């Protein structure tokens, strides 16, 4: 964890609430309203994402996503890992720290539970916290020699087929050198943070968040010799879509992306931006694994 000795004072806090989680859990609305009231009493400006504000009864503080992107000194995110991923991408562009409050399932990225929110906010506003930086990925979709799309991800970039379950050839290079041409359902390029997400489900290795590496994992390859490959974080991975192949998608953190065409090249590298996660205690990744995956004593 990177703990900062002096933290700039907070003036503006954005609260991002997952409206579906708020609908599922009646406690969310009350806790969020109490938290926002506490921030306002301390003289901070507060804004809430529009759909989340409606879900918890704070429409007077609602702001659009573009407004939230340029507003806060800190982001407080109430939801699951998916909500935190989305907020982390937003905050990374300006280096805004993100405090994750888990009301979801696994909660790998969250720092506190809903019941811990009041104390967590006090420590955040008072500067009694650390900030852990996480590596992110930058991807470019190259079409006809020109960059057609750019994306930023905290977990992974995934190239897969849409529609019918048919294998496709996936030519994969590292630093311009041909690594493999997989016949598979798709390919994952993951950060260490994302190694516990889709990468893990596809049989890839778990990496500690501080490891400087990328993981290249084929999805259901049609050969027993195909295996995930861990490469240096300074390496550049490229994935080529074969000519004539249709219905291919690039998905970013499982949330956004774009359709790909035959001949497109997806170029993935370590991003200059970093996700900044608020930490209130010394993190233990191995304890987290033990808890989330029930790797306890017999």
User: Within 10 Å of residue 258's Cβ, how many Cβ atoms?
Assistant: 15
81 in catalytic set:
yes
Helix (H, G, I), strand (E, B) or coil at 35: helix
What angle do helix axes 117-126 and 26-41 make, rounded to 10 degrees? 30
- 37, 65, 73, 81: which one is catalytic? 81
Is the CB of residue 194 less than 8 Å from the CB of residue 213?
A: no
Q: Between the CA atoms of 179, 182, 185 and 188, what dihedral angle is there, to the nearest 10 degrees? A: -10
Between the alpha carbon of residue 9 and those of residues 13, 51, 74, 76, 197, the distances in Å are 11, 28, 10, 15, 34
Is the CB of residue 195 less than 8 Å from the CB of residue 204?
A: yes
**Could you tell me which of 85, 101, 130, 128 has the C-alpha nearest to residue 275?**
85
**Could you tell me which of 195, 209, 205, 189 has the C-alpha nearest to residue 267?**
189
Q: How far is C-alpha 143 from the chain's CA centre?
A: 26
Strand (E) positions, 93-205? 98-102, 112-113, 130-143, 146-153, 156-161, 168-174, 177-184, 186-190
Question: Mind telling me the catalytic residues?
Answer: 81
């Amino acid at each position: 964890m990177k703990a900062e000795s002096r933290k700039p004072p907070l003036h503006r806090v954005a609260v991002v609430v997952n409206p579906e989680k708020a609908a599922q859990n009646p406690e969310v609305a009350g806790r969020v309203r109490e938290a926002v009231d506490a921030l306002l009493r301390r003289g901070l400006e507060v804004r809430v994402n529009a759909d989340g504000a409606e879900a918890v009864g704070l429409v007077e503080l609602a702001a659009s996503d573009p407004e939230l992107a340029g507003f806060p000194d800190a982001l407080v995110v109430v939801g699951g890992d998916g909500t935190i991923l989305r907020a982390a991408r937003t905050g990374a562009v300006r280096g805004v720290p993100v405090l994750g409050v888990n009301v979801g399932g696994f909660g790998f990225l969250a720092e506190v539970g809903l019941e811990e929110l009041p104390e967590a906010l006090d420590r955040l506003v008072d500067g009694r916290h650390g900030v852990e930086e996480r590596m992110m990925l930058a991807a470019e979709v190259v079409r006809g020699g020109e960059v057609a799309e750019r994306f930023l991800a905290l977990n992974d970039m995934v190239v897969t087929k849409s529609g019918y379950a048919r294998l496709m050839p996936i030519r994969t290079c590292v630093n311009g050198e041909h690594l493999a041409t997989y016949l598979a359902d798709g390919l994952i390029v993951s950060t260490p943070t994302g190694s516990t997400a889709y990468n893990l489900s596809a049989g890839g290795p778990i990496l500690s968040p501080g490891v400087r590496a990328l993981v290249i994992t084929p999805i259901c390859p049609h050969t027993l010799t195909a295996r995930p490959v861990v490469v240096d974080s300074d390496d550049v991975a490229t994935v080529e879509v074969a000519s004539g192949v249709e219905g291919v998608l690039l998905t970013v953190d499982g949330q956004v992306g774009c359709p790909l065409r035959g001949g497109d090249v997806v170029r993935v590298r370590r991003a200059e931006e970093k996700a900044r996660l608020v930490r209130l205690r010394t993190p233990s990744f191995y304890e987290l694994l033990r808890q989330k995956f029930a790797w306890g004593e017999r």
